[in-house]
């Protein structure tokens, strides 16, 4: 694992993407780690080399005792950039990460090409944060986890994506209390708002219209007003926008940093259409896992099949989803593509896309036209999935 060491504290970083692309630094919120940005990576890696950093006290970075400060955290980012060989980058950060990004643009403007503060603030209630820090130091993170989760995610997202909400909660509870408290003191003591007018870096302020932690009124609007020439974009998301709106957030970042090209806009539209179809057919949980597991090696491929296979082919009006599911099963069985066969058997049976009797008849037909051995394996693979579904019920 790559680490940068500053003042005997190790800061974990991860660099992904093609070396010839411009670098985008991504910073996490308090209470999360670099995985916060995982859903955005398939949308960002085709355009950027991405450097993700676990803020001091979070993820795999060290979590020393004591108070932290924004200058300290910004210096950690510079140390990670140096360790990764990054001289210049656009910087985007969520919540605490956005505060660090603004501090970085103030302290080292020569290292920052674009500034993207996401769902963040330049002035928080010091008394409220002092109380939160005291609670965490005395009673642990469990004492504030319900409050924090209520401010992280919208009720709609939690209801639609309970597995992601559970992952965020688990990660928050697992982090070191001294790391959360230390980062909390940096928020408590930050002095950003009066210094923002000196920022000369092109700035895009991203706000979530469902964000109750740092809403636009009183937070985002003050950043926009303070930074000369700052632009603003609104997303249908709560505080953790990379989770609730990964594609729109990534599209906003790409347009701001690279320009508003017609080709990129068309690709974004096709991707969104394909993602809608993919979620409808395979379910949110599987699609979310697939996007989260994308790497710099396969991100372009994932984007391509989402645009073409799911956007163009599955979106055509000539056949309904049920017919297309059955066609896919027959072809994958005939070709022995068992991973894809299993995926569509599970999705179809779980979502009512077809019945077990219809699946049986499809395999009987396949035995005649593609061979008994293929159908025999198809029956065996399908039986395993049916047993798993029954066990889960």
What pLDDT, in 10s, does the model give residues 25-81? 999 999 999 999 999 998 899 899 999 999 999 999 999 999 999 999 999 999 999
Helix (H) or strand (E) holding 113, with range, is: strand 112-118
Question: What is the 3-state composition of the chain as percent helix, strand, coil, each rounded to the nearest 5?
Answer: 60, 10, 25
Residues 6+ apart with CB under 8 A from 63: 56, 57, 175, 176, 178, 179, 182
What are 151's two structure tokens? 């401010």
Running DSSP on this structure, what letter comes out for residue 36? G
Mean pLDDT across the stretch 230-253?
95
d(CA 315, CA 254): 26
pLDDT score at 354 = 93
d(CA 42, CA 153): 22
In this predicted model, what pLDDT tens digit does every residue of 318-355 receive, in sequence order? 899 999 999 999 999 999 999 999 999 999 999 889 99
In this predicted model, what pLDDT tens digit does every residue of 1-25 receive, in sequence order? 799 999 999 999 999 999 999 999 9
Residue 361 reports pLDDT greater than 70: yes
Helix (H) or strand (E) holding 26, with range, is: strand 23-27
d(CA 54, CA 93): 11
Burial of 41 (0-12, 13-18, 19+ CB in 10 A): buried
User: Dihedral (C-alpha) 381, 384, 390, 393: value to the nearest 10 degrees?
Assistant: -90
Residues 223/13, Cβ–Cβ less than 8 Å: no
pLDDT score at 262 = 62
pLDDT score at 176 = 97
pLDDT score at 264 = 67
Distances, alpha carbon 280 to alpha carbons 160, 299, 315, 321, 353, in Å: 13, 21, 11, 9, 10
What are 383's two structure tokens? 């039986």
d(CA 384, CA 382): 5
To the nearest whole percent, how much of the chain has pLDDT over 90?
83
Residues 95/122, Cβ–Cβ less than 8 Å: no
Residue 107 reports pLDDT greater than 90: yes
Q: Which residues pair with 231 in a beta bridge?
A: 204
Extract the runs of DSSP E, i.e. beta strands, from 28-111. 49-53, 89-94
Residues 182/65, Cβ–Cβ less than 8 Å: yes
pTM comes to 0.75
């Amino acid at each position: 694992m790559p680490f940068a060491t500053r003042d005997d504290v190790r800061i974990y970083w991860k660099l992904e993407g093609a070396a010839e692309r411009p670098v985008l630094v991504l910073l996490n919120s308090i209470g999360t780690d670099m995985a916060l940005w995982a859903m955005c990576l398939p949308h960002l890696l085709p355009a950027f080399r991405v450097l993700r950093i676990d803020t001091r006290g979070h993820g795999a970075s060290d979590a020393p005792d004591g108070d932290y400060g924004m200058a300290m955290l910004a210096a950690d980012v510079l140390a990670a950039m140096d360790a990764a060989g990054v001289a210049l980058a656009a910087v985007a950060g969520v919540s605490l990460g956005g505060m660090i990004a603004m501090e970085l643009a103030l302290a080292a403007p020569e290292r920052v090409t674009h500034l993207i503060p996401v769902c963040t603030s330049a002035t928080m209630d010091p008394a409220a944060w002092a109380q939160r820090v005291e609670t965490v130091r005395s009673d642990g993170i469990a004492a504030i986890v319900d409050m924090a989760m209520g401010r992280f995610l919208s009720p709609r997202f939690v209801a639609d994506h309970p597995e992601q909400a559970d992952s965020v909660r688990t990660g928050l509870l697992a982090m070191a209390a001294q790391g959360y408290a230390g980062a909390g003191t940096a928020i408590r003591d930050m002095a950003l708002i009066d210094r923002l007018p000196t920022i000369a870096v092109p700035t895009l302020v991203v706000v979530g219209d469902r964000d109750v932690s740092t809403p636009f009124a009183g937070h985002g609007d003050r950043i926009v007003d303070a930074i000369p020439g700052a632009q603003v974009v609104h997303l249908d998301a709560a505080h953790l926008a990379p989770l609730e709106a990964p594609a729109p957030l990534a599209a906003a970042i790409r347009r701001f940093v690279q320009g508003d090209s017609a080709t990129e806009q068309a690709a974004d539209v096709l991707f969104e259409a394909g993602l809608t179809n993919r979620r409808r057919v395979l379910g949110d949980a599987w699609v979310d896992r697939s996007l989260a597991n994308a790497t710099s090696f396969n991100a372009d491929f994932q984007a391509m099949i989402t645009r073409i296979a799911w956007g163009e082919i599955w979106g055509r009006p000539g056949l309904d989803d049920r017919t297309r599911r059955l066609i896919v099963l027959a072809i994958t069985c005939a070709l022995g593509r068992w991973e894809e066969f299993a995926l569509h058997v599970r999705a179809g049976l779980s979502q009512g896309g077809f019945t077990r009797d219809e699946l049986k008849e499809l395999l009987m037909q396949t035995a005649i036209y593609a061979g008994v051995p293929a159908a025999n394996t198809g029956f065996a693979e399908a039986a395993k999935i049916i047993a798993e579904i029954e066990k889960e019920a």
